[in-house]
Structure 1
Amino acid sequence: MKIKHFLFAALFAVSTISLHAQDNLVSSLKTNQSDSSKQKFRFTELINLENTSIKNQGSSGTCWSYSTNSFLESEMIRMGKQPLDLSPIYTARCAYIEKGKNYVRMHGAVSLGDGGESHDVINMYRKYGAIPQSVYSGLNYGTTINKFGELSAVMEGILKAVVQNPNGKLTPNWLAAYTAAIDAYLGKVPDSFTYNGKTYTPQTFAQQVVGINPDDYIEFSSFTDHPYYTKFTLLVPDNWSFDQVYNLQVNDITDVIDHALKSGYTVAWATDVSEKGFSWKNGVAFVPEVPYEEMTAKQKEEMFNGPKPEMKITPEVRQQAFDDYSTTDDHGMHIVGLAKDQNGKEYYIVKNSWGPTNDYKGYIYVTKAFVQYKTTALLLHKGGIPKDIIKKIGI
């Protein structure tokens, strides 16, 4: 997820965002909210699984790392381990190294940027281990929150220069130069560190303290142009590693999430938040029954003033939105619970990484229709998957 809208939380832009894009952002902030929304919704929690504190990814495209590390932190809690804050920037830093290698091998024919997918966190954990946030914050030059505009430009500049191959043959030094540039911004990774009085490497910390098995995690999506319950390559720009996911039917998406939550498992969720039905300020996301462009001025004004009817989501509707770019893979969050409104409609309780800056202090209530419509991928422990789905995908 490239999180093209991470600035909702911070209200400032990185250097690579144009003034026009900033104007559009401010406009969307003004339209996708209501001053009285919280008074018009009455949510009752049905399930609220334990999770760590709300974080702020700042001006960085690292939602995928924040959300999936939050997911791993909840996995530790589920397994009875002591809760702790993992370093999402350590994971991102490792992914940037691997992404750089891939970019050069592909002669530049893959996307750059600091975006990624939930499976990147699992893959980096498997290869590089993990580090607590207290040991590796990534704040290496005086900032108090992430600010990655210059770093992203530097990474892109180095890699593009390398693939131009000015020497006629690549030297063995490009990777060291690229890694050194990243470490100059984020900090050099310690060979070992002390945590709670014991010395670890990133690998031993992952094994002995975090303790998850990366092979236990399964990723899903839903498309009509692939056979259901088989694996396919997720064709979104930030799937730079070309990982494969299992294909579910639309209703399976929420069935899997419901089963997971009821069984004590949270879910890492990739989605599209560039929607008029998504209001970060009000902490509500839904799919309006009437398309926004067909609404009256009053309907637009009242969008988030209490529950509203929603559009019915079909496989065809979902696929069309993906095919025409109405749905884009732009954000990652963490589904931690289930609630219902005053009419009995159910919503997922979703943890975000934009700080405690909205009506619900960093959380958002998302309807099941929105999740069926706008999910680009979801990742969870295989123990949270319904048995009939396990049988259908053959694991």
Structure 2
Amino acid sequence: MYSQEFKVAPVKIPVQQAYNFTPIIDIEASEIKNQGNTGTCWSFSASSFIESEIFKNTGQLIDISEMYNVRETYNAKAWNYVMRQGKAQFSEGGLAHDVLNSIKLHGLVPESAFTGFMTESTSYDHSKIVPEMQIILDNFIKNDKNSKYPNWKTSVDSILDIKLGKQPENFGYNGLFYNPKSFLEMTKFDPDNYVTLTSFLHVPFNSQFILNIPDNFSNGLFYNLKLNQLVEVTDIALKNGYTLALDCDVSEKTFSSKYGIAVIPNKIEEQEKCLTYIVEESNISAEFRQQEFENYNTTDDHLMHIVGLVKDQNGNEYYKVKNSWGTNSDRIGNDGYVYMSKPFFKLKTISVMVNKKALNEDLKKELKIQ
């Protein structure tokens, strides 16, 4: 008889690491606002982006009015709906280029000149505006001879005047008087200096096309890049001091405003854990991205503003994304910002808007951008 002692190697249990972020790039941006009960994230995102561009141009951080361009865009959406005889989406939604389109036609105003509040309220609520306008538009489209609204433009304007206010013709700012066009000139912001970039497989790369998503009512054009190019352009823009307006999907459980994080865990059972601890993320291919877009798992449901880059203690990089859901809530963490991993960005980004100057010359030549 004899005994033998067996030595069992200890099992290494991975240590859970709570996120610890270090800034890499942090570009000047205005304070976080709250879009309230509205679908106007497109204006809050684009306006914040424009504020950073104005700061880059002038050194002034100007609080511009989101609702001025929302009001003008509601008129444009109404016209589109009527001319398409009701066979188009009519909603609060839009895209960043709609703000640029509004600025080209109607100029720009500061928040102090047009708040979009007609009462003492400080919280936006547009839940009744679009339904009220749609009743008028549908009535006109049906060509009802007994219609109360033979002149739908006047009726729509009346609703917007009551709910949001009349557009200012002249206003004071820092001791000087402006109109919307002269104020735009003072900011040195040129809406023609911007392009929208995306990455999909159903159109050729380096081509320009109309992306068929519901909120693209104005038929805005997108430049199509390879997926890795889209990430590279975003990184280079940030490194050169340019921010980007972001259109993306935030319906995933792993996008959390409460924890201020957006990631794509490799294991589905880590969907909750990944909100507070570093996990291995999925490797996102262009094919999988396209599949998720075509089956509606990726939709254009929210726009935000990329203002920087951070890294965790393992060296993984995340975009610092400014949201528009405020800061004073138990559902809002990270001071209202969301740190978005590059896998999440690759899978869930619809598009980014950026200054043409942020693109390298070779890319501009490939895309035929002047």
Question: TM-score, length-normalised on structure 2?
Answer: 0.91
Other structure's SS at 2:195 match: strand
Give a deviation string over 1:113-137, Cα, whole Å, max 9, x none: 1110010011111111111111111
2:315 maps to which of 333, 341, 344: 344
In 2, the alpha carbon distance for the partners of 1:168 and 1:311 equals 59
Which amino acid in the other structure matches residue 185 of structure 1?
Answer: K
Does residue 233 of the first structure (1) align with residue 210 of the second (2)?
yes
1:153-168 aligned within 5 A:
153-167=131-145
Q: Which has the higher relative contact order, 1 or 2, with Cα contacts under 8 A spaced 6 or more apart?
A: 1
The residue that corresponds to 1:103 in the other structure is 81
Other structure's SS at 1:303 match: helix
1:118-129 aligned within 5 A:
118-129=96-107
Give a deviation string over 1:166-185, Cα, whole Å, max 9, x none: 13999872111111111110
Query: Number of residues paired by the alignment?
Result: 350
The residue that corresponds to 1:219 in the other structure is 196
Deviation, 1:91, is 0.7
Deviation, 1:141, is 2.8
1:1-395 aligned within 5 A:
40-167=18-145, 173-208=151-186, 210-290=187-267, 292=268, 295=269, 299-356=270-327, 357=329, 358-395=332-369
Give a deviation string over 1:228-257, Cα, whole Å, max 9, x none: 011110111000011111011111111111
Q: Is the 8 A contact 2:109 2:184 kept in 1?
A: yes
Farther-moved stretch of structure 1 (351-360 vs 48-57): 351-360
Deviation, 1:44, is 0.6
In 2, the alpha carbon distance for the partners of 1:165 and 1:316 equals 47
Deviation, 1:303, is 2.5
User: Which consecutive unaligned segments of at least 5 residues does structure 1 have?
Assistant: 1-38
Change beyond 3 A, Cα 1:134–1:321? same
Farther-moved stretch of structure 1 (151-160 vs 247-256): 151-160
Root mean square deviation, CA, Å: 1.6
In 2, the alpha carbon distance for the partners of 1:242 and 1:172 equals 28
Change beyond 3 A, Cα 1:128–1:170? farther
Deviation, 1:104, is 0.5
Give a deviation string over 1:38-85, Cα, whole Å, max 9, x none: x91110100000000110000000100001000000001111331111
The residue that corresponds to 2:4 in the other structure is none
In 1, the alpha carbon distance for the partners of 2:31 and 2:156 equals 33
**Superposed structure 1 runs of 4+ greater than 6 Å apart:** 168-172
Change beyond 3 A, Cα 1:317–1:333? same
In 1, the alpha carbon distance for the partners of 2:59 and 2:89 equals 37
Other structure's SS at 1:147 match: coil
User: Which consecutive unaligned segments of at least 5 residues does structure 2 have?
Assistant: 1-16
Other structure's SS at 1:93 match: helix
Deviation, 1:387, is 2.6
Question: TM-score, length-normalised on structure 1?
Answer: 0.86
Which amino acid in the other structure matches residue 306 of structure 1?
Answer: Y
Q: Is the 8 A contact 2:67 2:116 kept in 1?
A: yes
Other structure's SS at 2:128 match: helix
In 2, the alpha carbon distance for the partners of 1:226 and 1:157 equals 37
Other structure's SS at 1:391 match: helix
Deviation, 1:300, is 4.1
